Amino acid sequence: MKFIFHYAKKYWVSVFLMLVFIILSAKIDMELPKYTGKLISEGVAKKDLAVIYATGFEMIGLSLFSGAIMLTSIFFASRSAGAIARDIRRDIFTKIEDFSMNEFGKFSVASLMARITNDARQFQQTFTMAMRMGVYAPFVGIGAIINVWSISGQMSWVVGGTIFAIIAMTIFISIFAMPKIEVSRKLVDKMNLQSRQIITGTRVIRAYQKDKIEQDKFSKINKENLKLNIFLERIFGVISPWLTLVSGLSLVAIAWIGSYLVKDDSILVGDIFSLIQYISQITFAFTMLSMLFVFLPRMFVSINRMKEVLNTDISVKDRKKTRKLPTEFSIEFKDVSFKYQGGEDYVLEDISFKVKQGETIAVIGGTGSGKSTIAKLIPRFYDISKGKILIGGVDIKELSQKELRKLIGYAPQKAMLFAGDIRSNISYGSDLTDEQIIEALKIAQGWEFVQKLPEDISSPVEQGGKNFSGGQKQRLSISRAIAKNSPIMIFDDSFSALDYQTDAKLRAQLALKTKKRTKFIVAQRIATIMDADKIVVLDSGRIVGIGKHEELLKENEVYKQIASSQLSVEELTTSQKGKE
């Protein structure tokens, strides 16, 4: 409830007006059966047309007024619930945007999507009903019970039996159905995850002819979900016929007992019709309350899932007091060690090196050596476990993340393009002219293929850039990093899909056009890093060598092994002679 109040208090005016209109509508609805009794007893029974017309028109007027008031209450209830759900979705999305890579490891993408969409919608729908029926049903139910008692105390056992039957059904549903709702939510997450995996991995699945295996995986989850939903629908499906039965028996009991009471002149014939309406109101009220007890647990499950995201502690945070950005952009690692949150072993240990502003530093190593992890530490996608990372002599933890990332143009390992056009992708987050975009494309060797497109930089980009090849996507991603014009550029194995000729041209242009910028390159290919001012060689998370290409070829065994596995003896000899 604290969670709901936190968001609802902002819309207290709408909630208050909704409550006023609901209570007013309930009050009118409780008066209508009295008019029915009067119409029958004083009008129909006595054949008094004046009473019939007068009472009838009053009933029509009150019904229309009650309907208008109820519509108004629905408007305020829907408006409040919609606004609250909007705020929750916004806060969840904002929270996700603040997630570090550690937090993304705790939730699958499918689960996060389900929480923003399905869970928020479940909350909105149930909260709308809860606000309306949670007030209307008790008010009408209690009022109807009092009115039944005032008309005939002998009818109280009919009311008691009706209420008992409805509550018994509610308890039955709660015992058997409620524990299954959380299971149902988890199955939806699993189904979303499997669907996403199949759709995004279609090419690999088809290439290995594993369509049947993936279909079987999906079918298994789908069948589990089907069985659970059939079970829940069967349980919930009992409600309607049971309530119809209870309501019907109650009305029969009222008519049967009432006929004896009318015969004994204990009550008027019109009171029978009033009692029938009051019993209908009681049945409706307690039915709605039962439905609330059925749906509220679903809403609370959704709330708990959303709270899981909102209450997640962010591992990478800004300090309360941050420093101004440095004016010099060297990068230094001082005794840096890193392990993933919850991990036991260090991925990187005692990493120390320095690169001056304008220089190019490259990191190379075998698979799993930690080279890409180093690149992710500079923009604080993760926070280091020990040591310091300095930019211009300032610890990056003393800078705000927003300001720190302004200093960095980042091209990730997997090129990420957004739906739109080439212009919007390269100028992403920056206000660039077409000339600046084209210049960045030229440096990244992307202008050659972009200018051949029908609309060049206005050409459309599909989601994920699936209308471009791997090499084209990488060049567009590199162009984005260059176009940002940041003093530091990080290329996290972002040249891997380029052919050797394009790679060489790109590096030559980078050296020529970005002399004042510090360049940090992670690569697996020796050819990509041969011209770097400094090369860091990693092995199992430790530095085993630092130097230039020709120095490492002579002195470092790990580097020599990597080089010899990629270059021929002739190429190695040529590169050494060229440097000499």
Per-residue pLDDT reduced to its tens digit, 247-301: 788 878 877 877 777 777 777 778 788 888 888 888 888 778 777 777 787 788 8
Lowest mean pLDDT among 169-173, 343-347, 451-455, 539-543: 169-173
- Whether 14 shows a pLDDT value over 80: the answer reads yes
Q: Is the dihedral of CA 537, 543, 547, 550 positive or negative?
A: negative
What does the block give as tokens for 275? 């009692």
Encoded amino acid at 573, one letter: T
Per-residue pLDDT reduced to its tens digit, 220-235: 888 888 888 888 777 7
Q: For residue 559, what are the contacts with CB-CB under 8 A and spacing of at least 6?
A: 364, 535, 537, 545, 552, 553
pLDDT at position 230: 83
- Whether 336 shows a pLDDT value over 50: the answer reads yes
Q: Where in the chain is the domain with CATH 3.40.50.300?
A: 325-407+486-549
pLDDT at position 92: 92
Helix then strand then coil, % of the chain, to nearest 5: 65, 10, 25
pLDDT at position 429: 66
What would the mean pLDDT of 181-202 be, rounded to a whole number?
76
Strand partners, 243: none
Lowest mean pLDDT among 121-130, 177-186, 298-307: 177-186
pLDDT at position 574: 57
Encoded amino acid at 526, one letter: I
Q: Where in the chain is the domain with CATH 1.20.1560.10?
A: 2-310
Angstrom distance (rounded) from CA 569 to CA 553: 12
Question: Is the pTM here over 0.85, yes or no?
Answer: no
pLDDT at position 378: 92
Q: How sure is the predictor about 91, in pLDDT bands with cuts at 50, 70 and 90?
A: very high
Q: How sure is the predictor about 573, in pLDDT bands with cuts at 50, 70 and 90?
A: low
Q: How sure is the predictor about 572, in pLDDT bands with cuts at 50, 70 and 90?
A: low
What does the block give as tokens for 279? 């019993």
Q: How sure is the predictor about 521, in pLDDT bands with cuts at 50, 70 and 90?
A: very high
Question: What's the mean pLDDT when you consider all of the chain?
Answer: 85
pLDDT at position 332: 93
CATH class in words for 325-407+486-549: alpha beta
Q: Does the structural domain 2-310 have CATH classification 1.20.1560.10?
A: yes
pLDDT at position 577: 46
Burial class (CB in 10 A: 0-12, 13-18, 19+), 482: buried
Q: How many other CB atoms are there within 10 angstroms of residue 505's CB atom?
A: 16
Q: How far is CA 341 from the centre of its chain?
A: 22
Of residues 488, 324, 486, 485, the one with CA closest to residue 400:
324
